[in-house]
Structure 1
Amino acid sequence: MELSLSTPALLFPAISLLLLAYTNRFLAVASVIRQLHAQTEGGRGQFHEEIGNLRYRIVLIRRMQLIGVLSLFFCVLSMFLLFAGWILGGHIAFGTALIMLLLSLAISVREIQRSVSALDLHLQSLERTKQS
């Protein structure tokens, strides 16, 4: 397979948008944590399940951000190696970038599942409150 210098460059917009989306997810979780902290200081309820869920989501978000950044790093490394004439190294670095991008996306799917699970807990709570 022919791998030119422009091939890894095709990933730049995708990875940049992906990292922006990951950062937005992180900011959303941080906002929820701040709201939860304010509620608990105000003497409202116990939130042990939600706290555990938020901790796990933070770990997932940190991992997907790190792996996404490493994907971008290997993409740039691939371009450098191809530019320098090290074709095999460029292929390996580009393959690594693609694998890391896949891993980052897989972790993102898990975080989304966890987020939906947390929202479902909120909905169940609202249903119980409405039935009472």
Structure 2
Amino acid sequence: MEELTLTTPALLFSAISLIMLAYTNRFLAYAAVIRNLRDKYLQRKEASLIRQINNLKLRLNLTRQMQIFGITSLLFCVLTMFLIYIDYHVIAVWVFGLALLLLIMSLAFLIWEIQISSKALKHHLSDIEDDLKQR
């Protein structure tokens, strides 16, 4: 087995940073959509808006979980580097393994959120298609 070096966990920095940027962009997009839906709901209280709001609440919660797991993974990568620096290599390997598991969890939540988002968009498209058929 190869020894874990400082560069191994450092390689994940750029990947995790890009993932966190994407997660933050998703979060900001949801915030804008939620504000817009809130205004629409205050004007006309329709059941379809409630369904959309509930869907967005779930997606927002998943995005928060993605961010938490991603940030914790990055934190453990830094901890791994520190442990390598102070010659605690055995513990560093385990901490790095945990960082990888947390990153996997973050990506699993992303897959779940993408599935929900795709389903929601399909509902919107079917609503448009139904309206076009009625005309």
Q: Same fold (TM over 0.5)?
A: yes
Give the 4+ runs in structure 1 shifted more than 6 A. Answer: none
Structure 2 residues not aligned, in runs of 5+: none
Aligned to 1:5: 6
Match of 1:90 among 72, 89, 92: 92
CA distance in 2, matches of 1:4, 1:97: 15
Aligned to 1:29: 30
Match of 2:112 among 98, 110, 113: 110
Aligned to 1:17: 18
User: What is the root-mean-square deviation in Å for CA atoms of aligned residues?
Assistant: 1.0
Aligned to 1:63: 65
AA at the equivalent of 1:108? L
Identity, % of aligned positions: 47
CA distance in 2, matches of 1:101, 1:123: 33
Secondary structure at 2:44 match in 1: coil
AA at the equivalent of 1:36? L
The C-alpha deviation readout for 1:54-77, integer Å capped at 9, x for no partner, is 111011001010000000010000
Structure 1 residues not aligned, in runs of 5+: none
AA at the equivalent of 1:67? F
> Does residue 126 of structure 2 align to residue 124 of structure 1?
yes
Shift of 1:44: 6.1
Q: TM-score under structure 1 normalisation? A: 0.96
Match of 2:80 among 66, 78, 81: 78
Aligned to 1:40: 41
CA distance in 1, matches of 2:23, 2:119: 18
Q: TM-score under structure 2 normalisation? A: 0.94
Shift of 1:131: 1.1
AA at the equivalent of 1:31? A
